[in-house]
Amino acid sequence: IMKVKKICCIGAGYVGGPTCSVMACKCPDIQVTVVDLNKARINAWNSDQLPIYEPGLDEIVQKHRGKNLFFSTNIDDAIKSADLIFISVNTPTKTYGIGKGRAADLKYVESCARHIAAVSTGFKIVVEKSTVPVRAAASISSILSSNKQSSTSYQVLSNPEFLAEGTAVENLVNPDRVLIGGEKSPEGNAAVDALAEIYANWVDPEKIIKTNTWSSELSKLAANAFLAQRISSINSMSAICEATGADVGEVANAVGKDSRIGNKFLQASIGFGGSCFQKDVLNLVYLCEALNLPEVANYWQQVIEINNYQRRRFANHIVSSLYNTVYGKQITLLGFAFKKDTGDTRESSAIYVAKYLMDEGANLKIYDPKVPSKQIMVELEHPTISECPEKARELIDVCDDPYVACQGAHAIAVCTEWDMFKTLDFEKIFNSMLKPAFIFDGRGILPYEKLLDIGFEVLLMGKCPRETVLRKQYFPSCNFK
């Protein structure tokens, strides 16, 4: 088996950074260099303030940086000296041209492939880590082989990353599985084995799955689509619960007890966010259309439709509860990240809730323990969200204290499930708000019996509130004992 001694990872983002840090930590004999075009990002990786927040990551980087883990903008040298190159650049949904709004944009992957071809000599294993459409490895191979120098040869592998943000280090150290796809040939198998050997330094060989390249690429899309589908399924149930008096938490618990179904990913919410789920499902839909499988495409498209519906429904609940107008009213959003324990806001449902409320003329105060105010404004000033940046700035006030954010509010909307929100002093918050004081818990995390006792009007996704003004007004069909 070929021994990999030097690894280069192109792309120092949410995937490349943590993955290579853990790899360096678990393989002291391998030198790992993470490179990026973005100088500011590399500087941050080399500083005390890492560009991304992940529990446990700081310690690993501190321990290995400068020893067998390096962050650099010298992409050429890192490629030249590496035996194995990971491509972990971003593959956002296309915002232009064919496949706009659905297909993954592969321009960054392609530019990496061209860069590798331009500077490489000898044999290289090139590994796609970014989530890519099925058959992207074939495109990378074609670019590499059409541009290669005579002495150079490549094997292209697919090794998708399944880490979730906020638990990246834990997922990397203790993965459910490692998936490696390669060409079914002696050379392909040898390259797959070389990569598997790296993981075998800390992963049980039984968990290392070897497949053909396309199975590996499709499995990544399929895994994310199945997870997203569970969330849309439970969110669709939450709408039925509100209309009938069933409780979505009780339904999720009863359904999840079936060992064939399992109890994870059944938390009703304001919809899934993050850089992966929507992008990957849309990517799958686009793939099905391209393959002339319209029934399959429609099936997966519904996962997205329900997610959009849930975001809209949450905002509509707020507007209708506040006597059908939020114009000029102060609404406080608690949480802006797409989930707890991360500062990432990509595709966060909070963005869309904020958009719908801004469209209605509401004034928003926003508090998130981790997301910088600049980042919140970048998301909300985006032309797809606000009429114009001035309008966004006029309506939005980002606060660095949850109590200040709630002062004088007509309503609070919980958009991210941060643990700290569960233990806020709600008596103090209630006393500082306008009455009736509304709380819309889009994550189902607050102690709502206690909130009702304090005097709040409480609304949860998929749960009819106890005997309150809201319930009588908006849930007349709720069939309560």
Separation CA 419–CA 370 (nearest Å) = 12
The token pair that represents 178 in the structure block = 């490692």
Question: In 3-state terms, what secondary structure has residue 49?
Answer: coil
For ligand UDX, give the closer residue by CB, 213 or 267: 267
Separation CA 234–CA 420 (nearest Å) = 25
The one-character DSSP state at 93 is B
Separation CA 411–CA 5 (nearest Å) = 57
Say whether residue 52 binds ligand UDX (CB under 6 A).
no
Say whether residue 255 binds ligand UDX (CB under 6 A).
no
Residue 26: Cβ within 10 Å count: 17
Say whether residue 283 binds ligand UDX (CB under 6 A).
no
- Tell me the closest approach of the beta carbon of residue 199 to ligand UDX, in angstroms: 16
- Tell me the closest approach of the beta carbon of residue 282 to ligand ADP, in angstroms: 16
Q: What angle do CA 307, 271, 278 make, to 5 degrees?
A: 60
Residue-by-residue DSSP string for 407-468: TT-SEEEE-S--GGGGGS-HHHHHHHS-SSPEEEETTS-S-HHHHHHHT-EEEETTB--SSS
Applying CB under 6 A, the span of 269-277, 318-326, 425-433, 458-466 interacting with ligand UDX comes to 269-277
From the candidates 9, 27, 276, 415, which is the catalytic residue?
276
- Tell me the closest approach of the beta carbon of residue 270 to ligand UDX, in angstroms: 8
- Which member of 50, 69, 227, 398 binds ligand UDX (CB under 6 A)? 227
- Which member of 231, 285, 287, 405 binds ligand UDX (CB under 6 A)? 231
Say whether residue 276 binds ligand UDX (CB under 6 A).
yes
Separation CA 230–CA 163 (nearest Å) = 18
Residue 35 β-bridge partners: 10, 72
Tell me which of ligand ADP, ligand UDX, none is bound by residue 266, counting a contact when its beta carbon lies within the kind-specific cut-off of 5 to 8 angstroms.
Answer: ligand UDX
Q: Interface residues for ligand UDX in 338-397 (CB under 6 A)? A: 338-339
Separation CA 144–CA 127 (nearest Å) = 12
Residue 9 known to be catalytic: no
Residues binding ligand UDX: number (CB under 6 A): 19
Tell me which of ligand UDX, ligand ADP, none is bound by residue 337, counting a contact when its beta carbon lies within the kind-specific cut-off of 5 to 8 angstroms.
Answer: none
| List of residues contacting ligand ADP (CB under 6 A) | 10-16, 36-38, 41, 75, 88-90, 108, 111-112, 115, 130, 275
Separation CA 243–CA 481 (nearest Å) = 15
Residue list, annotated binding site: 11-16, 36, 41, 89-93, 130-131, 165, 276-279, 346
Q: Which residues bind ligand UDX (CB under 6 A)?
A: 161-165, 224, 227, 231, 265-267, 269, 272-274, 276-277, 338-339
- Catalytic residue numbers read 276
